[in-house]
Amino acid sequence: MDTFVIAEAGANHNRNFNQALSLIDVAVKSKATACKFQTYTADKLFTTKSKKVNGFDVLDMFKNIELPRDWQYDLKQYCDEKDIEFMSTPFDEEAVDELFKLGVKRFKIAGFESTDLRFIQYVASTQLPIIISAGIGTDVNFIEKILESCYKVGCKDVTILHCNNGYPTQVCETNLLTIPQIKKKYNIKVGYSDHTLDTLTPSLAVALGAEVIEKHFTLSKSLPGPDHSFALEPPQLKEMIDNIKHTEKTLNYKTTLTKSEKDNWQGQRSIILKRNVKKGEKVNADTITTKRPFYPSSIHAKDYLDLVEKNCIFNQDLNKDDFLEWKQITN
C-alpha cells in the first residue's frame, strides 16, 4: 500500500520564487508523492464587495499571496527534475486550462469549492483524475451530487477527501469515521485533507482506509501570511510521512505465521505427560497436560480437548514430562 501524500505548499511561497523551490525540496526530502500549490486570481475568486474577515480585507490579502503564473512552468520542471509530482489547485476556469496545458496529471479541488458543482463539472470535463475535498457545506449525501457532476461529463476517476475546513481543526472535530462511511456508501477512493496541528491524525486516517493524504506545510510557522500558523514545519512533515509509512506496514491480513513468529514457535505449548503411564492406559485429563515448549514432533496443545474425548490409549510406557507424539497413542 502506497498512500498518495500531497504536501500542500499552497500560498506559503510568499511570492518568493526561491522560497517556492525550497518548499519543493522539503517535500522531496520528506518523501511526499506530490507538492501542491494554488492557482487563482484574487479578482476572480472574490467579489469587490467582499466584507472584511477578522479585520482583514480578504481581496487584498489574497492578491498579496497569488502564485505568479509565469512561475508554474519552472516549478513543474523543477518538480520533474526532483521526481515529485507537481500539482496546483485551480480556482477558476482559466487556471484549469493553464494547468491542463502545462501537463498536470490530476486536479485537486479545494474544500470551499466542493459545493460549486458548475466548477467541479468544468474541471471534470478535462477527463483527468480529480481529487475533491468534501469540505464545509458538504455532507455524506451531497457527495452523490459531486460524483454525478463528474460522471455526467465522463470523469470516472474521482477521489473524495474527507475534510474539515477549520484552520486549525481540533482533533475532536476530525470525525475520521466518515472516511470508511464514504467508501462503503459510494465504493470510491477516499482520502483525508488534514488541518490539525499534529502529525498523527493522518496515520489514523490511513488506518481507516484513506488512500490520499493532504497536509499544509511551511518552511517556518513564523513567516508572514495566513497559512503558515497551522502548517507543519519540515521536521514535522517528515515525521507525519514516516508515521504513514509505519502505519502502512501494519495494514495486512494474517494468513500464516510471520517471520518473527516463526523465530519464536517454541514458545507455544505441547501435550506433556502429567505422570508416568503404562502401555494400555487411557489418554485423559489424569494422564496429560500442556506445557512449553512446542516441537514439531510433539502433539500441539490445540489438540488437547479433542484428544481427551477420543478415548485413545498409550501404546507404550512413558514417563512424567515426556513430550507426547502421535505415534505413541492408538485411537
Q: Write out pLDDT tens, residues 61-83.
A: 788 889 999 999 999 999 999 99
53 pLDDT above the threshold of 70: no
Q: Write out pLDDT tens, residues 249-262.
A: 999 887 787 788 87
Q: What is the mean pLDDT of residues 98-111?
A: 97
For 69, the grid coordinates are 503564473
What domains does the chain contain, in order, with CATH numbers?
4-250 (3.20.20.70), 259-330 (3.90.1210.10)
Is residue 213 within 8 A of residue 185, CB to CB? The reply is: no
Least confident of 1-5, 59-63, 176-180: 59-63
Least confident of 49-63, 187-201, 247-261: 49-63
pTM, 2 dp: 0.85
Q: Write out pLDDT tens, residues 9-52.
A: 999 999 999 999 999 999 999 999 999 999 998 788 878 777 77
Report, in angstroms and rounded to the nearest whole number, the Rg of the chain calculated over CA atoms: 30
Q: What is the mean pLDDT of residues 101-127?
A: 96
What is residue 311's predicted lDDT score, i.e. its pLDDT?
Answer: 85
What is residue 55's predicted lDDT score, i.e. its pLDDT?
Answer: 65
